[in-house]
Every structure is written in C-alpha cells, then in structure tokens.
Amino acid sequence: MDRRRLLTVVAATALGPLGASLASAGTVNINPSKDNTLYQYDPADGDKSNALGMHFFVGVTAMKELRRGVLAFDIAGNIPPGSTITAVSLSANMSRAPSNTAYVAELHKVLADWGEGTSIAPGEEGDGAPATPNDATWRHRFFDTIFWTTQGGDFSATVSASQMIGGIGQYTWSSTQMVADVQGWLDNPASNFGWLMLGDEVDFLTAKRFDTRESTNPPVLAITYTPSGSPTPTGTPTATATPTATATPTATATSTVAATPTATAVVTPIDTPSPTSTPSSTATPTLVPRVTPTPRPRPTPVPRP
C-alpha cells in the first residue's frame, strides 16, 4: 500500500465515528412532565390548585388576585447524559385573555420541588379548585404538609427569558440563560424543578390563560444538543497518519549521516604523535660546555752518569 493510499485509509477510519456522532446530534421536542397554577391564597376560599386542568394562568384577575404558572420538563429522560445543550426554546399557546394589552412575561427557574395532585378547576378554570394531597398551591409545594419558603413560590431572581405577550396566540421564549438552565438540569437532574412564569402583577386585569400538557395544544420545549464523545475533526487523523508515513525514512537517514564521522574520528594510527607530545619533541636542548683537561707536565729526564 503506497503512502498516499495509506493516509487516505487512516483518515477515513478516524473520521468514521465522528461522522456518526455528528449525525446523531439533533433537536428533541418534549411536553411538560407537570404543570400547575399557583392561585393567590384567600382565607375565605382556602388553598386552590389545578393539577389536572387544561390551563394555567399568569397575571392579575378581575378580582385583583395574582396567578403564577409553573411547568417542568423531564430533561434527563429525553437527552443522553453528558450531552452539550446548544439551543432551547419554549412555546406555549395563549387561549384566552381579557385584554389584548401587551406586557412582558418572564420565566424564572424554580428553586424547590412541587407537585400535582388530582384537582381539576371547573369552568374557565380561573378560580381553581380545592387543593388535593400533593398539589402545588400559593402556600404549599405539596399540599398540605410541605410549604414554600416564600408564599407564591420559591424562584430565582434571575430572569431566564422574557417575551412580550398580548392577544391570543402562540408565544416563544428563548435565551442563553435557558440553555444554561437546561444544561444544569441535564448534568444534575435532582435540581430540575422547572420554570415559573410571571406575568404583569402591577396593573389591573392582566391575567392570561395558557394551555397545559393535558390540553390538545400543550407547551413544547425544543432542545438542540450535541452528544458527548464527539472527537474534534482534525485531532485523530493527524496523530495517526504522521508517524506511520514518515517513521522508516527518518530512521534510515539518521543512521547514515551519523556513521561516517564516527568511523573517521575513532581510527587513528598508533605511531602518529599525540598532539600533546609536540612540545616535548621540539624543545631546545640546553648545551653543557665541555671541560678540556689541562695536560700534566712531563718530568725532565736526569742524565745518567
């Protein structure tokens, strides 16, 4: 297999799982797992709720009573754990409004769990029905033993999303904070208590009615996500292909270049004078003068008689 074909096969193998992961990313549309209305408490009427009714309410009624809607969604049961949430939007249908006057409706993250019992409000459902066990009410998270810390619900002061609402029709909330909310609920399902919808509670007759999960037009939460474990497009192919294609030529070139200088440097004739012997062989000898012996005088011969 030549080098070009090898690189092609390696890259295709590495990118195969990535393509499959990217293809699995998408959007899921889910309806509420529960929804309800918190009807402002009136001692004369007692605690009201509407667990299984067709509608929830926000704003101020003609009787100057406050209404707040609560709704939650099963995030962990619909999105793979470890996924990254990239977009979120909530659509809800307003089916009745005493006035078309528009105002901003806000979503706030609920900070404690709440329930649905079996209550069903009669008529247009604006006045609620007597609460049943485990119903969420203005005072209770679960009627009639567990209370909110603050009447009217415990919710974050941070606005998760806001939308101008007026007359009857479909409305959508979407924001980066909603993305953060849903990501947090996916990563920590025990913290998922949904949102509270807050209407105009200052002006008179601002109540708006929205359809619940029990209706034929329930709220829809659209979530776009990317599954976990998707590798980056360039990381795996680069790491695999480079050493395979270049390992052999690199090793050959290195050994050839290193061999020649090593052989030349080591082989040295034995009789070649060492660089350190030169000063000794060229040093100037010290001349010692020779002493010429003085000739001893010979005695004068005495004539014989």
**What pLDDT is stored for residue 230 in this prediction?**
58
Decide if 112 contacts 148 (C-beta within 8 A): yes
Contacts of 3 (CB under 8 A, 6+ apart): 245
Residue position matching structure tokens 């009427």: 45
Decide if 208 contacts 105 (C-beta within 8 A): yes
105 burial (CB, 10 Å; 0-12 / 13-18 / 19+) is buried
**What pLDDT is stored for residue 25 in this prediction?**
78
pLDDT tens readout for residues 73-128? 999 999 999 999 999 999 999 999 999 999 999 999 999 999 999 999 999 999 99
CA distance 153 to 150: 6
User: Would you say the C-alpha torsion 47, 150, 54, 186 has a positive or negative sign?
Assistant: negative
Decide if 114 contacts 141 (C-beta within 8 A): yes
Inter-CA distances, 292 with 51, 58, 207, 289, 295, Å:
143, 140, 145, 9, 9
pTM listed for this prediction = 0.70
Number of helices (H) and strands (E) in the chain: give both, helices first: 4, 15
**Amino acid, single-letter form, for residue 248:** T
* Positions of the chain with pLDDT under 50: 2-23, 232-297, 299-305
User: Torsion angle of alpha carbons 53, 54, 57, 63, nearest 10°?
Assistant: -70
Contacts of 24 (CB under 8 A, 6+ apart): 227
pLDDT tens readout for residues 6-36? 444 444 444 444 344 444 679 999 999 999 9
Token pair in block for residue 205: 């007759």
Phi, psi of 40, rounded to the nearest 5 degrees: -50, 135
Decide if 30 contacts 221 (C-beta within 8 A): yes
**What pLDDT is stored for residue 229 in this prediction?**
78
